[in-house]
Amino acid sequence: MSEHTTLRMEGILKEFPGVVANDHIDLSVERGEIHGLLGENGAGKSTLMKVLYGLYSQDDGDIYLDGERLDLESPQDAIDAGIGMVHQHFMLIPRLTVAENVVLGEREPATAFRSDAEGSWLPATVRNNSLVQSLAGQFSLGLDVPEQRIQDLADQYGFDIDVSAKIWELDVGQQQRVEILKALYRDVDLLILDEPTAVLTPTEAERLFDSLERLTDEGLSIIFITHKLTEVDAIVDRVTVLREGQNVGTAAVSSVSRADLAEMMVGREVLFDIDREAVDLGDPVLRARGVKATDNRDIEALSGIDLTVRQGEIVGIAGVSGNGQKELAEVMAGIRDVTAGELLVNGEDITGAKPKTFVDSGVSFVPEDRLQYGCAEDLSVMHNATMKDFRDGRFGDRPFLDYGELREYAETLVEEFDVRGVSDVTETNAGDLSGGNLQKLILAREIYRDPDLLIANQPTRGVDVGAIEFIRETLLEQRKAGTGIILLSEDLDEIFDLSDRILVVYEGEFVYETTPAEADRERIGLEMTGGDGDDETVASPPQSGVTQEGES
């Protein structure tokens, strides 16, 4: 251990029924470093960090911070010790403001009750009474929110958020920044970031990296969980790789290549290139004409979208988050109403129909927010795997569903899509799966039914390199089988690697169309941020029957 070591985790063991999530893991972090934590989905990263944040108690092992042994029974203990954590899934209260969320949990008594409050209408003797203080602390919701201080903090890190806005008014990227702000607000020495950039745009991520470097310059240590090896190169000093609950190595980033890291993670070589064969295009599976829709705040989010997707075609939608992608995906999947326009699936007009009609018409949907829309966390893997198809007669007639068939179907999905961490499909709940494995389960459910139209919003977000390879190949196979796919992704490389056509969406409209073979990345980047004033708009769908050959 060096004199700079701030955190030492020794022999951490954490077991769940049927799974050893952390198998005697050692981890040490130096003061002022950004320490990357890598590993496949389900390797045990989040569990280890939840132990460190007092959310889980370890079955064995010790944690030392600055030489002092910590006994963490709750996140409050961790925060008191100077450890902050930003989770993979948001833990914000939608109807409260940003500032209220930031102070939430602080339980600061209202001004009148504060012992240091000047001008309180309560006499100091009453205010300072320990019983009054304890009651005020218990019952106050922290409504005295130092909004200006929080706004200053947000501005200082370039977060571009109005802290008086309500959480539900913000897009996912902004909500993520609130989570980070919340941790920064509590003076932490060690900050755990669990895939913090998963929902940020590349520019926002850059800005975050600048902020993180400023923080480490001030002596803060950061543990940074990520699946993106480019991020490891960009900001991480040292990296620890976990595999199947064990530490398989810690190294200085400068001494290992990306391919080395990928191999350490998955235990085999990972192909970064993908082979996209030419596929004959068939009939249109989707025709959207003049589609308009509003967002959750009732503000127009889609301003007249025309989109045709043919059998065997992947249409990639590129754009900076918050430009209508979420609404576009939800409208096409039938879970958001259109305010104008029409939607034809396989030639049939299903505008305004119920979501079930979309499902029955062969539409599959992989939503961006897998916990909110993708699954029922408290239901089993089996229920989640079959929830779209249990009505179609294959599993017997309700109320006499054949549970044996349902179980078998779910087990097939788990096996074919390599969903890990499932001890029994009827007993493991979807909410117990690691983020990436849950994503694989949702993809399995949506793809295995062999849809005519698949809408995939950020399908590889939060999944490991091995699984990304698998998901991309699966999407290409599905395309070959004749499915029309709308791929929404903030990862431009993914759009380039998979798409036959690329559409750039900006402020609810398609502003540019190209193909991977002809694309000019700079132009795409420009169009994504509002363009150069050039009036060129979307051309009609390609008339040729054959897509371009992949360029990779």
Ligand X SMILES: Nc1ncnc2c1ncn2[C@@H]1O[C@H](COP(=O)(O)OP(=O)(O)OP(=O)(O)O)[C@@H](O)[C@H]1O
Kindly list the residues in this chain that would bind ligand X in the complex (CB under 6 A): 16, 19, 21, 39, 41-47, 420-421, 432-437
Report how far residue 54's alpha carbon sits from residue 175's, in angstroms, rounded to the nearest whole number. Answer: 23
- Whose Cβ is closer to ligand X: residue 286's or residue 422's? 422
- Unique residue bearing structure tokens 């950020």: 458
Pairing of strands 190-194, 83-86: parallel
- Whose Cβ is closer to ligand X: residue 432's or residue 497's? 432
- Measure the CA angle with vertex 249, ends 243 and 254; round to 5°: 120
Least separation, in Å, of the C-beta of 46 and ligand X? Answer: 3
- Whose Cβ is closer to ligand X: residue 310's or residue 420's? 420
- Whose Cβ is closer to ligand X: residue 6's or residue 46's? 46
Report how far residue 338's alpha carbon sits from residue 178's, in angstroms, rounded to the nearest whole number. Answer: 30
Question: Which residue sits closest to ligand X, CB atoms considered?
Answer: 421
Least separation, in Å, of the C-beta of 494 and ligand X? Answer: 18
Backbone angles phi, psi at 545, to 5 degrees: -90, -10
- Whose Cβ is closer to ligand X: residue 16's or residue 373's? 16
Determine contact, residues 112/206, Cβ cutoff 8 Å: no
Least separation, in Å, of the C-beta of 459 and ligand X? Answer: 14
Least separation, in Å, of the C-beta of 225 and ligand X? Answer: 7
Report how far residue 507's alpha carbon sits from residue 530's, in angstroms, rounded to the nearest whole number. Answer: 8
Size of the chain, expressed as the number of residues it contains:
552
Least separation, in Å, of the C-beta of 415 and ligand X? Answer: 15
Neighbours of 526 (CB within 10 A): 15
Determine contact, residues 112/121, Cβ cutoff 8 Å: yes
> Number of H helices and number of E strands within the chain?
18, 20
Least separation, in Å, of the C-beta of 177 and ligand X? Answer: 20
- Whose Cβ is closer to ligand X: residue 46's or residue 460's? 46
In the beta sheet, which residues pair with residue 308?
A: 287
Least separation, in Å, of the C-beta of 381 and ligand X? Answer: 10
DSSP symbols for 189-208: SEEEEESTTTTS-HHHHHHH
Distance, C-alpha 326 to centroid of its chain: 13
- Whose Cβ is closer to ligand X: residue 86's or residue 291's? 86
* Residue whose C-alpha is closest to residue 362's, from 344, 340, 337, 380: 344
